[in-house]
Structures are given as C-alpha cells and as structure tokens.
Chain A
Amino acid sequence: MSPYRARSQVPVGALQGALGAEHAAVWVYGVVGAFVPDALSRRLAEAATAHQARRDATQRILIDAGAAPVPPEPGYLTPEPVTDAASALRLAITAETDAAAAWRSVVERSPADADLRGTALEALTDAAVRATRWRATVGATPLTVPFPGAP
C-alpha cells in the first residue's frame, strides 16, 4: 500500500491523539509503580507493557501513513498530587479513561471494514477493563461506566 493511499484512509489526527494518550499512560505507570504495594506489581507491569505495545504499534501505523508520530511530552500535569497508593491508582484510572476516549475517537473516525477499527476497539476495551479493575482495587464507585470513552 502506498503511503499516499494509506494516508487517505487513516485518521491521522485521531491516531496522534491516541498516541499522545499512550505516551501519557506509559509515563503514568512509571510514576504509579513507586507508590503501590508489591502485590500489585505484576498487574502494573502488564498494564505498562500493554501501553508500550500500543504506543509502538500506533507509531508504526502513523509512519506507514506518512505522518510523523507525536513525541511524548517532557512532563505531565497530574489532576491531583500523587502521594500514596490511592492517589497513584486514581492517576492510573485517569490514564486509562483518557486512553479509552482517544481510541473511541479512532473507531469513530476510521473507515468501516478496516483493521484499524478492530485495533482501536481492542485498545478501547482493554483500557476500559483496566480502569474498572483499578476502580475495584481502590474501592471507587461505580466500578463501570455505560459508555467507556464517550465524551
């Protein structure tokens, strides 16, 4: 597939948003690991690995489409200071919620019948499930939202 053709079918703006969310999530899980008990380390590592894989895959899609992938920000502002396990996990929930929204946008803007829709749906679903599991861990309610990723 030529870069020109790929670019015409790929929602570059939405994908750059998803890549930005994945960069942020990778950063967040680096922060969260310093605050949570060892018992959660395996789940944290799985989440971090998943976001790194999404980040790398998204960069490849953008490059194949002839776009320059956005780089990570030099730093990120957190909605609240991260001082303990609970605030760290709330930050993880925020990162997953942001990722879900970004990937839902990719679903909405992708052409029908494309592999990209499936990839974006999988990323949205994984982020929603991780957000729900972290809510269960910190005792946040409700555990679920009816439309993950919806504005």
Chain B
Amino acid sequence: MLTVGTALLLTGPAVLTGCSSSARAPSAPDPLESPARRAEADAALAQSVVQTQTQTNPALAASARALAEDRTTHATALRAELRRARPLPTATSAVPPPAGPAPAAPDPSAARTALAQAARAAQDEAAGLVVTLPGYRAALLASVAACCATHAALLS
C-alpha cells in the first residue's frame, strides 16, 4: 500500500502536465479495460431508460434499474482488478471519461430491445474472455457473463 501510494504521488505531476499515456505505457491495454468500459456504458444506458420510463412504464424501469445496478457493480469490480494489476497505467487511463451512452429511446419497446442487446453483447464479450484469462479473472468474467445472461433473459 505504501509503495503504491508513493508511486502515485511521484507520477502525479507528470500526469497533470499532459504526459501521454501511450508514451508511458508501451504494453497492450489490459483485457479487462474493454469490459470495464462496456459495464460503465451499459449502466449509463440503463440509467437513462430508468429516467425516461419510470412514469409510463414502471416494469421496464425496474428492469433497467436492476441492470444499471448490476452493471455498476461490475464496473467497480473490474476497475478494482485493473488497478490491482497495473496501478499506474490504470490511473492515467481513467482520466478520459468513458464514451457517453447511446441516447435511450423513448419508445418502451425500442428501449427494452436496446437493453437486451446490450446485455447480450456484454455476455458475449465476457464469455469470450473467460477462456483465455487466468483463473481469478476468468471466474470474475464468468460471473459477469452469467449475470448479463440473466438480464437478457428477463428483457427478451
């Protein structure tokens, strides 16, 4: 802990003065970066559906709220693992905000379809990583894939 904290303090000014992360991190991106971003984007999409559907379609809003909560939990766990594996690159790559969510369709049917497709795509991405990652990460992604499958089933 102390070592990590010191390292972050020492490199903080370099980050603030605009040192590019690509120059500092020659290695390939961590394979968990993409599922982490996807989890954040899905949570934002689901949250926007909650906001547009709460009044008119409470059942869909409840499904969306559950998806937003689970995907937020996934993002938190994946970010924690990213930080554990590579404290410095993750700290710098966390600076740019994730891509904004696609605008939620006001039509309930289209919104439900969009959420189901997002859940299915997240399941597929996580499942693809399960086969190649080391044991702990494989188990984490396996649970993410299974959770996304449960949401896809409820939304289909």
Interface on A for B, CB 8 Å cutoff? 100, 104-105, 107-110, 112-114, 117-118, 120-121, 124-125, 127-129, 131-133, 136, 142-150
- In chain B, residues 103-148, which have Cβ atoms closer than 8 Å to a Cβ of chain A? 123, 127, 130-136, 138-140, 142-147
Determine the distance from Cα of A36 to Cα of B77 in the docked complex, in whole angstroms.
Answer: 38
Task: Flag if B149 contacts A125 (CB, 8 Å).
Answer: yes
Task: Flag if B146 contacts A125 (CB, 8 Å).
Answer: yes
Task: Flag if A146 contacts B130 (CB, 8 Å).
Answer: no
Some 6 contacts from A to B, beta carbons below 8 A apart, are A108-B142, A125-B146, A132-B150, A143-B150, A146-B69, A147-B143
**Secondary structure of the A contact surface, majority rule:** helix
> In the complex, what residues of A have CB within 8 A of residue B146's CB?
100, 121, 124-125, 127-129, 148-149
In the complex, what's the smallest C-beta–C-beta distance from A19 to chain B, in angstroms? 18
Determine the distance from Cα of A127 to Cα of B74 in the docked complex, in whole angstroms.
Answer: 19
Task: Flag if A108 contacts B135 (CB, 8 Å).
Answer: yes
- Selected from B139, B144, B147, the residue in CB contact (under 8 A) with A108 is B139
Task: Flag if B143 contacts A144 (CB, 8 Å).
Answer: no
Task: Flag if A104 contacts B142 (CB, 8 Å).
Answer: yes
**Interface flag for B15 (CB, 8 Å):** no
Determine the distance from Cα of A107 to Cα of B138 in the docked complex, in whole angstroms.
Answer: 7
Task: Flag if A108 contacts B70 (CB, 8 Å).
Answer: no
A118-B130, A121-B146 known, 17 other contacts, Cβ within 8 Å: A107-B130, A110-B138, A112-B134, A112-B138, A113-B131, A117-B130, A124-B142, A124-B143, A125-B142, A132-B150, A133-B153, A136-B154, A146-B143, A146-B147, A147-B73, A147-B143, A149-B146
